[in-house]
Amino acid sequence: MVAHLLKQNNPTAKILIADPKESFSKQGLFEEGWNDNYAGMIERIGPDFGGANVAVDPAAMTLSIDGDVMDVDVCNVIPAMKAGRIAELAGITDGNWAPVNAADMSSTMDDSIHVLGDAAAQGDMPKSGFSANSQAKVCANAVRGALTGSTVFPARFANTCWSLIDTDNGVKVGATYEATPEKIAKVDGFVSQTGESDDVRAATYQESIGWYDGIVADMFG
């Protein structure tokens, strides 16, 4: 999305992505989108080329990637993620995350505490807003059952993550999941394909708008 803006306002700009991971979600789709829409503008530097060895000097506005220092106009640093401090203070973290029981999102360390969304170490689900909303419904059903004795339905989870490559050019990845004794386990999944038609990509974008309107109404309506 930054490249989309720069293409219109500063087409000679360069975006460097220093990434310590070997791969990332929807990588083939993003790389296709970069090549098709923002040729020469975006470069990802993975761990094999120094993406895991990065230093930032805010005062000098420089970035060092594997010892190679360069000036930058904007540097967006995303630190390693972890559960919030409140989870650590509650004593429910193991490493960076808070492990939970998949059936009801209760903490494995304190069943009176429930954890969902990004903070939870729950298994196969990605850390997304769709995932958190899906987990919240399972959690709420379980808590209501515990408080009132009402029926608690088997846990079922779903997630879809959309990304916008260019105007009317959307891609997605998603899956359905079930609760097992060990974790939230993936049942099946889907992902957009490279080389899709403009009509398919436009339909995927419209689908994402529909989801956004629906989840906002679901959460705040």
CATH code (residue 109): 3.90.760.10
Whether residues 103 and 212 share a domain: the answer is: yes
- Per-residue pLDDT tens over the stretch 177-197: 999 999 999 999 999 999 999
CB 74 within 8 A of CB 106: no
Look at residue 106 and give its three-state secondary structure.
strand
Q: How confident is the model at residue 199 (pLDDT cuts 50, 70, 90)?
A: very high
Whether residues 207 and 102 share a domain: the answer is: yes
As a whole-number percent, the residues of the chain with pLDDT over 70 amount to 100
Q: How confident is the model at residue 36 (pLDDT cuts 50, 70, 90)?
A: very high
Q: Which domain holds residue 125?
A: 85-220
- Distances in whole angstroms, Cα of residue 195 to Cα of each of 26, 49, 105, 117: 13, 28, 39, 32
Beta bridge partners of residue 36, listed in sequence order: none
Whether residues 135 and 213 share a domain: the answer is: yes
Whether residues 41 and 112 share a domain: the answer is: no
Look at residue 57 and give its three-state secondary structure.
strand
- Per-residue pLDDT tens over the stretch 138-180: 999 999 999 999 999 999 999 999 999 999 999 999 999 999 9
How many structural domains is the chain composed of?
2
Residue 156 lies in a domain: yes
Q: How confident is the model at residue 80 (pLDDT cuts 50, 70, 90)?
A: confident
Whether residues 63 and 148 share a domain: the answer is: no
**With the C-alpha atoms ordered 71, 76, 80, 86, is the resulting torsion angle positive or negative?**
positive
Question: What pLDDT shows up at residue 130?
Answer: 96
Residue that terminates a domain, selected from 71, 100, 126: 71
Question: What pLDDT shows up at residue 221?
Answer: 86
Whether residues 13 and 110 share a domain: the answer is: no
Q: How confident is the model at residue 69 (pLDDT cuts 50, 70, 90)?
A: very high
Cβ contacts of 67 within 8 Å, gap of 6 or more: 50, 53
Let me know how many helices (H) and strands (E) the chain has, helices first: 5, 10
Residue 77 lies in a domain: no
Residue that terminates a domain, selected from 71, 103, 127: 71
Whether residues 213 and 117 share a domain: the answer is: yes
Give the distance, in angstroms, between the CA of residue 13 and the centroid of all CA atoms in the same chain.
26
Residue 136 lies in a domain: yes
Q: Measured between alpha carbons, how far is 164 from 216 in angstroms, rounded to an integer? A: 19
Q: How confident is the model at residue 53 (pLDDT cuts 50, 70, 90)?
A: very high
Q: Where are the extended beta strands (E) located within the chain?
A: 15-18, 42-45, 54-57, 62-65, 68-71, 98-99, 120-121, 156-166, 169-179, 184-191
Residue that terminates a domain, selected from 43, 71, 99: 71
**With the C-alpha atoms ordered 101, 102, 104, 105, is the resulting torsion angle positive or negative?**
positive
Q: Measured between alpha carbons, how far is 27 from 30 in angstroms, rounded to an integer? A: 5
Whether residues 20 and 46 share a domain: the answer is: yes
Residue 78 lies in a domain: no
Q: How confident is the model at residue 75 (pLDDT cuts 50, 70, 90)?
A: very high
Whether residues 207 and 137 share a domain: the answer is: yes
Token pair of 114, please?
A: 């429930």
Residue 210 lies in a domain: yes
Residues in the chain: 221
Q: What is the pTM of this model?
A: 0.89
As a whole-number percent, the residues of the chain with pLDDT over 90 amount to 99
Question: What pLDDT shows up at residue 76?
Answer: 94
Give Rg (Cα) of the chain.
Answer: 21
For helices 129-148 and 198-220, angle between their N-to-C axes, nearest 10 degrees: 30
Whether residues 21 and 52 share a domain: the answer is: yes
Whether residues 148 and 62 share a domain: the answer is: no
Token pair of 100, please?
A: 């939970």
Residue 37 lies in a domain: yes
In this model, does residue 91 exceed pLDDT 90? yes
Whether residues 35 and 109 share a domain: the answer is: no
CB 161 within 8 A of CB 182: no
Residue 76 lies in a domain: no
